[in-house]
Amino acid sequence: TTEELEARVREIKNELGTKLYIPGHHYQKDEVIQFADDTGDSLKLAQLSEENSEAEHIVFCGVHFMAETADILTTKNQKVYLPDMRAGCSMADMADIFQTERAWTKLTELFGTTIIPLTYVNSTAAIKAFVGKNNGATVTSSNAEKMVSWAFEQKERILFLPDQHLGRNTAFNLGVSLDEMAVWNPINDTLEYDGPIENVKVILWKGHCSVHENFTVANIHDVRAQFPEMKIIVHPECRREVVELSDMDGSTNYIINAIENAKPGSSWAIGTEMNLVKRIIQQHPDKHIVSLNPHMCPCLTMNRIDLPHLVWCLESIVEGKPHNVIEVEDEVAINAKKALAAMLQQS
Ligand code: 13P
Ligand code: SF4
């Protein structure tokens, strides 16, 4: 039963004490997040994994790229586990290393050495390593503006992987116009751009988050019609036109803080992942909060981490035959760490 599974997690947590650390991303289900030692967005969890040097076992409740990042940042005697290997990220899957290398060859033919790569942390370790090798950096949604500004101090042009929306929204906020942004299509290896090539400042990888792309302009119009006083706040993984029409936009942490600091009685429509929106609604009974899209689904891959998988993974650690160890090979890890370090230095 659920009660038995919950009791078992508590027992194992007591038994392993500080040897066990469970970070949980904000998009995780309540049945899992209740056991997290820390919750956070992707940047906070990356930093905490690095700081938690006592923990021998890091059971990462999030998705695959986050567990890889934790493995890259922690020491050799710390092991990182992902309770369900199917917990991937459809956005991270939209850029593979071979496509990226092909793109880089073509883009450096076009732009020479005037270009630097940046990758959202929602990407494979191999992509992070590619970026590190080429003197670029990783980015999260909470430091994207800082990192894009940093990149422009290094070079005239940026290749931004793999989320076109975060890249476009961030560059736009920094004053880059939409006609200075091109799109790299990894399916047919082409640059989608109408103007003179020398005008390009940002090349956006044609990837997206299948959760955040579900928020539409029609959702915004519906909310405005039904609740004219409602403030609309969205994640920058949403499309440009949705961000444009909303009142506020920012990372998971930014959204949580904005609602926390909002006046009692205020009303909000939130455009981000459903598990988080539901939790925010529960935590703020004094405010009127809805999802920007009432038919929104949670992130299905985040949802793969559930209580039975958590128990299964913890049991395997206790038995000394651990399942689902995430180990990034050394050569990849060294270069990926360079890209992460370039970001963490700025944060
Ligand atoms: P943040 O945690 O950086 O806001 O990213 C959101 C996300 O989609 C994680 O997969
Ligand atoms: Fe990936 Fe989007 Fe899910 Fe985040 S919410 S893990 S970006 S699919």
Tell how many helices (H) and how many strands (E) occur in the chain.
14, 16
Are 100 and 182 in a shared domain? yes
3-state secondary structure of 69: helix
Evaluated on CA atoms 280, 285, 287, 291, the torsion sign reads: positive
What value of ipTM does the predicted structure carry? 0.96
- Whether 209 lines ligand 2, by a CB cut-off of 6 Å, is yes
The span from the CA of 162 to the CA of 67, in Å, is 18
Cβ atoms of 303 and 275 closer than 8 Å: yes
Cβ atoms of 120 and 155 closer than 8 Å: no
Q: List Cβ neighbours of 46 (8 Å cut-off, separation of 6 or more).
A: 66, 69, 70, 73, 121, 140, 340, 344
Are 234 and 337 in a shared domain? no
pLDDT of residue 244: 97
Cβ atoms of 234 and 197 closer than 8 Å: no
pLDDT of residue 235: 97
Are 84 and 107 in a shared domain? no
**Structural domain boundaries, residue 231:** 216-291
Q: Which segments of the chain does DSSP mark as H helices, in order?
A: 2-16, 30-33, 42-51, 64-73, 97-111, 125-133, 144-154, 164-173, 217-226, 240-245, 252-260, 274-283, 307-318, 330-346
Q: List Cβ neighbours of 322 (8 Å cut-off, separation of 6 or more).
A: 57, 79, 81, 313, 316
- Whether 143 lines ligand 1, by a CB cut-off of 6 Å, is no
Centroid of ligand 1 to alpha carbon of 25 (angstroms): 8
Binding residues for iminosuccinate: 25, 42, 120-122, 141, 235-237, 252
Q: Which of 41, 122, 252, 291 is the best mutation target for the ligand 2 pocket, counting ligand atoms within 8 Å of the beta carbon and taking the most?
A: 122
pLDDT of residue 58: 95
Q: How many domains does the chain have?
A: 3
Are 103 and 134 in a shared domain? yes
100 inside domain? yes
pLDDT of residue 116: 98
pLDDT of residue 214: 94
Side chain identity, residue 115: I
Low-confidence ranges of the chain (pLDDT < 50): none
Centroid of ligand 2 to alpha carbon of 166 (angstroms): 12
236 inside domain? yes
pLDDT of residue 232: 98
Which tens digit of pLDDT belongs to each residue from 257-294? 999 999 999 999 999 999 999 999 999 999 999 999 98
Side chain identity, residue 60: F
Binding residues: 25, 42, 89, 120-122, 141, 209, 235-237, 252, 299
Centroid of ligand 2 to alpha carbon of 139 (angstroms): 15
211 inside domain? no
Of all atoms in ligand 2, which is nearest to the CA of residue 299?
3
Are 136 and 188 in a shared domain? yes
pTM of structure: 0.95
pLDDT of residue 200: 98
Are 96 and 10 in a shared domain? no
347 inside domain? no
- CATH of residue 72's domain is 3.40.50.10800
9 inside domain? yes
